[in-house]
Every structure is written in C-alpha cells, then in structure tokens.
Amino acid sequence: MLTTPPRTFVSVPFFFFLILFFSLPLSSLSQPSPSSSNSVYNSFLKCFSEKTKSPQSQITDNVFSQSNPSFSSVLRAYIRNARFNTSSTPKPTIIITPRSESHVSAAVTCSKTLNFLLKIRSGGHDYDGLSYISDKPFFILDLSNIRDVSVDIASNSAWISAGATLGEVYYRIWEKSKVHGFPAGVCPTVGVGGHLSGGGYGNMLRKFGLSVDYVEDAKIVDVNGRVLDRKAMGEDLFWAITGGGGGSYGVVLGYKVKLVPVPSIVTVFRVEQYMDSGAVDMVYKWQSVGPKTDRNLFMRMLIQPVTRKKVKTVRASVVALFLGRADEVVALLRKEFPELGLKKENCSEMTWFQSALWWDNRVNATQVDPKVFLDRNLDTASFGKRKSDYVATAIPRKGIESLFKKMIELGKIGLVFNPYGGKMAEVAVNATPFPHRNKLFKIQYSVNWKENSAEIEKGYLNQAKVLYSFMTGFVSKNPRSAYFNYRDVDIGVNDHGVNSYKEGEVYGRKYFGENFDRLVKIKTAVDPGNFFRNEQSIPTLKNAKGTLLPEPGKAKRWSRAGGATVVATVVLHVF
C-alpha cells in the first residue's frame, strides 16, 4: 500500500551529510556491515528452515553468507563476464543454491520477508550481469543445481530444468536418439532458464523458428511462493515467460519442450574472404541470400577487423549448418551465391550432435568425446561487451564499404549477422513476446579482451558505442529494436522509482515492440508489488495496487569503467 512520506525537517548539517553519503562508492552502499550480514543470514536461515521443514544443519550447504569460505567460488562459478568479477563489483549478501522446488519457493518467500532484492541466475550468460549484480543490497538465487533433463523419445519431448545447460540438453538427447534435436543456441554453457525465457535461438531457426516455439509446458514459482504449471499459471503468464524474460514474473523452474527431427547426416562449412579478395561483395550479396535461401540452410556472417600481412583489413566469414548433404548445398550455393565460392572440400558431413560440437569450435568434432558438453567450464570468463540491432532492409554496397573502414578505424570490435526468414517469417509477431520475426537479420556487436584494466575496458566499451552509433542509418527505427537475450544497459535502465514505467518503456519497446504493453499488464497482475525486478525488468503499471517503491531517488548503473560512484537525487520534504 502506498503511503504519503512523512514531513521531514532538515538542518543544514544534515543536508551536507546527505551530500557526503551520496558521494560514497556504490560498492560501500550496497554492502551491509559484517554484523548486519550475519544477522540477515541467521534470519534467512531460520525462515528457510521453517519453510522447507528442514533442520538448519541440512540446508547450510545451500545458503552461503559472505563469511562462508565457499562464498567466493560459488559466486564466481557462473559469472560469465569478467567485467563483473572484480574486487569492486557489488556482492550479494547471501547466495542461495536450491536443490528442489521447495527450496526455490522458500527462497522467494524469505527474501521477500527480509525485503531483499532477489537476483535469479541460471547459467550466468547475462551479458551485462543483471542476474548477479546490483547497486542495492541483494541475494542471488543460483539455479545451477536445478539441472535435470528428462528426454522421452516416445513422445518427442523433454522436461528441462532451468539450471541445465544447452550442452547437457544436447547430450541427453544424443543419448536417446541420433535423429532428434532441439532448436537452441550454439554455446553449450548457456543456461536453459535465461535462454528460453528470453526467446532462444540457434542455427536451426530458419527451419524451426525460436526455442520458445516448441515449449509445451512450464513451471514457475510465483511471488507468493506457489509452484505453478501452465494450467495453474494461465495462458497469459505462460505467454510472458516464453520470450518475455522469466525474471520479471517469478522464478522459472523448467520447461517441457517438443523435440524436432534432424537428418542422420548434416553438413557444416566455413568460408573466409578479406577486403582485397571479395569480402565486400560477399557480405552485400549475403543479405539477399542468407534470409531467403532454402530454410534448411543457416549461414551466419562474422565480420572482424584483423591484421593480415602487416596490413589492417577486414575478414568476413560465413559459418553454416545445412540440414542435408554436402553435394546438395554446394549445388544450391553455386547457383544462388557464387560470390561465396563454396567448394565441396570446404564442407564436412557429420551427425547433428557432432555439428553442435563443431559450432563450439571443437577441432575434429567427429572424434571428440560427447561428454565435453557436460563440462560447465566454471569460473573461466573473459571480459566482454555485446549489443544488438535488427536490419529490415539490405545495407547498400557503399554502406558495407564504409562499415569496413569504420571497423578498421576502431580496431577490435566485430559483428555477427544472423539471418532470419524461413519459419521465422511465418510466425505472428505476437505469438510470443519476441517481436522481431519479420526482420532480414539480427546484428550482434561483439568485443572481448583479456586485460583487467578499467582504462582498457573504457576504450572497448567506447568502440561498441561508436560502432552502434555509426550503424544508426542502416538498422531498424521507431523503435530501434534489440534482442532481449543480448542484455545491453546502454539502451536504458530502470531504478523502479516513481518513473518506473517510463524508464521501462524505453528499453521495453526496443526489446518487445508492441508486445511490451501486454507484458506490463501481465506483470502488474502477477507481481503488483514488483518484487521480481532488475535493471531491465518489465515494470508494473503506474499506481498498481501494492506497488513497492524505493525511497525517491535516481541511481547510476554500476560500472567499473564509468566510476563506481552513485549520483542520487533525494527528495527532501521541507515545510
């Protein structure tokens, strides 16, 4: 319930105290004192024990305070961007690693009781760290132990827990069948919870569409701690968590998905060209072939500035999966895409599962032990930044030329073009929250580095912003669209204060288009108090009954490169 703030009489010394307080580093503002942390931990443990009906001695391995020797390793294990793995990065007060539905339910209820923000992490691939950092005191709910994958070939389906990885999903399917697959991402350590709740796509999207197009059921823990399946949650909430992100509405426990048929033999290939050997023509022609060719063919385009023979240039690479034999795709592209120059010796035939290994850059994919997909590669993050765009009309050839020159000038940041068309264009834009079905292709801006330096980080982040700005005239407009699973705080963040809806609409329209309106209504209905929130979550409607508002203010998103200092506006009621 909303209440009117009490009248506050402020003396001049107190006013200067406020100025001093709000110039403190964010890391100090977000970190409770050791004694306070212990008190919070004990209160949470007591609540968690009562809710799960388990002795505290049995659950201490699932609740980690900052003083626990394992706290750091548990936190770092699923941080997939080293930018958010530094000594100055804000840390959670508690990490909860549930092993059952009742654990998740208790974690939600107890976090709400203690009035702590709850960040939900499945695989940790949130590019800007929104699933595991915050400027405000927070807990992390780490779902990595909720990882069961149950495949039923007889019904062509699988139940997949939110904490499972895509590699584990593909491996469990491969154990049961060599002619079944699932249309999802190419990175095996990505967590299912985030991937599917945000839409999910992979190298079969032109044949089958998005991952969420094959979701048949789901389970979620709502704000009241109830475990709900599709029937219990209703079609609106089910729709929201199949492309609208899971963390705005509750904690997604898992999905039941339909498997898809794949050929016993598929073909993969990679072809590279440079600026002086036809790369401009290849990229330009790709725009009219990649999104329109046989839907069994997915050709990803990678564009990267490189130094070759001591000369700065641009390399363009086509990396492809064809759901068929090599002779067929070579003949197809000889006719449709001669600029590629594909030859049979460029191609490799293998099983679909082996192609997943190949896309993960495994040398000799046909000889690799399939169990490598069970390796989660914990605590192995590099530094990086990602952004996204969508292209609705082909970029002119002169535009490609100018793009190459700009990339050489910037020096490191690369681009990934992912073609749409095929099945994607046949699904209504409001069938799921994902609205970008009719675009030609998606652009990912990508830059990685190894140096742990705030100054170097600032430079690479600036490269991303400069190239993004350069591309303005070539990409979608009104809104300039973005892919939700490529989290990017540059396009807007939400402090969840009095302007929450307006702030949320800025990034919400970019991610979800007109589907944003329905998502807001669903969010308001299922979580009117806005307990499930992060810097880019779906806001509630203004003045929603029971909406919890933080103290009036405005905070900067934490950024090491930008300086970890809060800039706040405090409303002082002086009468």
Task: Give per-residue pLDDT as tens, 112-138.
Answer: 999 999 999 999 999 999 999 999 999
| Two tokens, residue 168 | 């584990």
Mark whether 486 is an active-site residue: yes
pLDDT tens per residue across span 144-161: 999 999 999 999 999 999
pLDDT at 326 over 50: yes
Residue among 237, 244, 105 nearest 526 (CA): 237
Q: Band the pLDDT of 555: cuts 50, 70, 90.
A: very low
pLDDT at 527 over 70: yes
List beta partners, residue 303.
Answer: 316, 415
Q: Would you state the pLDDT for residue 26?
A: 43
Whether the upstream peptide bond of residue 419 has omega within 30° of 0, thus cis, is: no
Q: Would you state the pLDDT for residue 35?
A: 67
| Two tokens, residue 73 | 């390793």
Is residue 504 within 8 A of residue 539, CB to CB? The reply is yes
Neighbour tally for 268: CB within 10 Å: 22
Q: Would you state the pLDDT for residue 363?
A: 84
Q: Please provide the average confidence, as pLDDT, over all residues in the chain.
A: 90
What is the average per-residue pLDDT within 408-414?
98
The CA–CA distances, whole Å, from 320 to 269, 324, 372, 414, 417 equal: 5, 12, 22, 18, 12
Q: Band the pLDDT of 351: cuts 50, 70, 90.
A: very high
Is the model more confident about 248 or about 24? Answer: 248
Tell me phi and psi for residue 302, to 5 degrees.
Answer: -110, 130
Q: Band the pLDDT of 29: cuts 50, 70, 90.
A: very low
Interatomic CA distance for residues 514 and 342, integer angstroms: 41
Hey, what amino acid is at 436? H
Residue among 190, 214, 164, 134 nearest 486 (CA): 190
Q: CA geometry: angle at 325 spanning 320 and 328, to 5°?
A: 90
Interatomic CA distance for residues 273 and 279, integer angstroms: 5
Q: Name the active-site residue from 390, 483, 486, 511.
A: 486
Is residue 176 within 8 A of residue 151, CB to CB? The reply is yes
Residue among 329, 313, 318 nearest 277 (CA): 313
Interatomic CA distance for residues 303 and 197, integer angstroms: 29
Q: Band the pLDDT of 549: cuts 50, 70, 90.
A: very low
pLDDT tens per residue across span 474-511: 999 999 999 999 999 999 999 999 999 999 999 999 99
Q: Considering the chain, what percentage of its residues have pLDDT values greater than 70?
A: 88
Query: Number of C-alpha atoms within 13 angstroms, CB side, residue 251?
Result: 33
Interatomic CA distance for residues 258 and 6, integer angstroms: 55
What is the average per-residue pLDDT within 411-431?
98
Q: Would you state the pLDDT for residue 353?
A: 98
What is the average per-residue pLDDT within 174-202?
98
pLDDT at 566 over 60: no
Q: Band the pLDDT of 242: cuts 50, 70, 90.
A: very high
Q: Would you state the pLDDT for residue 542?
A: 77
299 Cβ contact list (under 8 Å, min separation 6): 286, 289, 290, 293, 318, 319, 320, 419
pLDDT tens per residue across span 272-284: 999 999 999 999 9
| Two tokens, residue 33 | 């004192």
pLDDT at 398 over 80: yes
Q: What is the largest CA-CA distance in the chain?
A: 82
